[in-house]
Structure 1
């Protein structure tokens, strides 16, 4: 059985040693469920598929939710774990079994809680959003996601990373007239028309905005170009896929309006193909402000999209906070400095205790 009350570094290693690629989390969910039922006091524990949920109901004035996903990307000859001095190697050490271990250890070791506590360990975060276990819980068990503040154990290098950017993808298409390239003047080259689109992108001035003391910088980038028929044909169709990473003070609709304004006046069509709303940090809320204080003010904006957006949509301030360098996630040499694990335990223990 997992030892929740022992060394959280050893607990991290034990979790890493349980292979849990997305859609194959049943064994780790079994182990987490059994450990929570056997080693914590005052928690209601339930199972939802391969997600495990636990909560206290002590009548505290505030509730803190700690959430972490149990799945990993496919292993790359990096399971089981390996300890080398102050470094723990292995698949999921960073993303995000170190964060899971911190939360499990806290659930079993806090003696004088200052808040009611909810823990959500969910499945299928690393694959398509439609399979995400947190989304299933939101649909089927919404009462379990109610809280005054939520902390996701995503790796943040020991910083609190607040909120997250939104993301929008569009395909911008041009059209022309097909012709033989030996008689190019008889055609209208759709690829050439993309030059005006790329000029707009090259000259784009990204906006920066401060929200709750966190600086979010936006970015508008071409991420794919398609076009061409054959080596001797003037193409009559071409497209560029553009990704807009926007600050969380914009809605998806406002982001799309902005993108359309950037390319206004060009002979193009614009089609939205994907989007996800950002999450406002909400650090002015009392429970979130107390968390920032406990972290010594070590807070910054989250670049990229995470599941904090789900909580923001529910009106719950949410932050990312966990051990590990996010740049090492998913790598063959994924690894975490063990000092970050103990530091996260110490900080959150102080925040969650009286």
Structure 2
């Protein structure tokens, strides 16, 4: 269905109803970012922000040929219906990690005296959400049909992820020739993403009283070769479709012990493997089982990576419009969900990812403007 505008507003310059938290700021993506940050939306509490985004999309629908707007819980999808030859998806998550004294947003100066916007979600990723809404405001009739996806529960367990829910319930809403995920990349292009897998490597022994330790076999001591093998491993850098993905293999946890006077009969080392997207999860599991041959290995979590996909025409056009040299995304992101649907995807958004989740999380106004200008240029290009 096509949603009709709220309150009869037909505002082409973004001033709108001054009482609305977002609509008055559509003409200024930096002010819009601040307004988004000032609406708390920790994972599981995205409802108020989803409401505001939905109402803003209703408002924008009145300015052009209309949008198809859908809502699934606290996920919102808006689709232009212009009959263009290509459809692109621009996606971003609404939730943040817990607030740490950084809402509402505030302006600060960095060491060089440059103004930065400090707030929970400033870079991860409300600046990216502001980018999505600003682009639709500025380019109501793009040269490509556009699907905007705003989803919930990205920062928590994968089974709660709103994009996953949409992909399972209504995959047709996410279909497109190419996708852009607004994760922070300092307004540069990061293609694909590494896959990730966690395994538990278990060593066993024989319990005994610690006063007679020679009567037992210490499972914690038996884990030393596991840790040594990890310490000596040199993770490779792997080129995939022209981008270089750095792998890593790390112990991220260890548990064992029964009591202060007992020789333990079990020790478990938790290992995280970040693997380049030339392998799927099955091949990564095979590698880990071979690497830890002789020990019991249990897979506890896995997520496929995503190849860059920069060779498709829509992606090549995007790279030309944005400029710069694409890099590989070494962390896992939801581009992998688009890849699983057969849609090439890249990460692109304002904000330095090194500040995501930190107490001083922030974004620079210049990056917000650059990201919006670049996307508008791409979507206006016939």
Q: Output one character per residue of 1:199-241: Cα deviation in whole Å (capped at 9) or x when no partner.
A: 2112212121111221111111111111122233222111111
Alignment gaps of 5+ in structure 2: 1-19, 109-113
Alignment partners' CA distance in 2, 1:194 and 1:31 = 52
CA drift of 1:139 comes to 1.7
Structure with higher RCO (Cα < 8 A, 6+ apart)? 1
Is 1:323 paired with 2:350?
A: yes
Alignment partners' CA distance in 2, 1:177 and 1:122 = 50
In the alignment, which of 329, 334, 345 is matched to residue 361 of structure 2?
334
Contact conserved, 1:165 with 1:248, CA < 8 A, in 2? yes
CA drift of 1:79 comes to 1.3
Alignment partners' CA distance in 2, 1:81 and 1:184 = 58
Alignment partners' CA distance in 1, 2:364 and 2:156 = 26
Alignment partners' CA distance in 1, 2:248 and 2:26 = 44
Instruction: Indicate the residue corresponding to 1:310 in structure 2.
Output: 337
Alignment partners' CA distance in 1, 2:140 and 2:162 = 30
What's the secondary structure of 2:223's corresponding residue? Answer: helix
Of 234-243 and 307-316, deviating more is 234-243
CA drift of 1:93 comes to 0.8
Alignment partners' CA distance in 1, 2:45 and 2:263 = 49
Alignment partners' CA distance in 1, 2:359 and 2:210 = 47
CA drift of 1:54 comes to 0.6
In the alignment, which of 193, 202, 208 is matched to residue 231 of structure 2?
202
Alignment partners' CA distance in 2, 1:305 and 1:14 = 28
Alignment partners' CA distance in 2, 1:94 and 1:277 = 25
CA drift of 1:248 comes to 0.8
> TM-score, normalization: structure 1?
0.96
Alignment partners' CA distance in 2, 1:278 and 1:93 = 26
Contact conserved, 2:201 with 2:292, CA < 8 A, in 1? no
Q: Output one character per residue of 1:76-108: Cα deviation in whole Å (capped at 9) or x when no partner.
A: 221111124631111111111100001101111
What's the secondary structure of 1:156's corresponding residue? Answer: coil
Instruction: Indicate the residue corresponding to 1:284 in structure 2.
Output: 311
> TM-score, normalization: structure 2?
0.89
Question: Structure 1 stretches (4+) deviating beyond 3 angstroms?
Answer: none
CA drift of 1:182 comes to 2.6
Is 1:127 paired with 2:133?
A: no
CA drift of 1:121 comes to 0.6
Is 1:352 paired with 2:373?
A: no
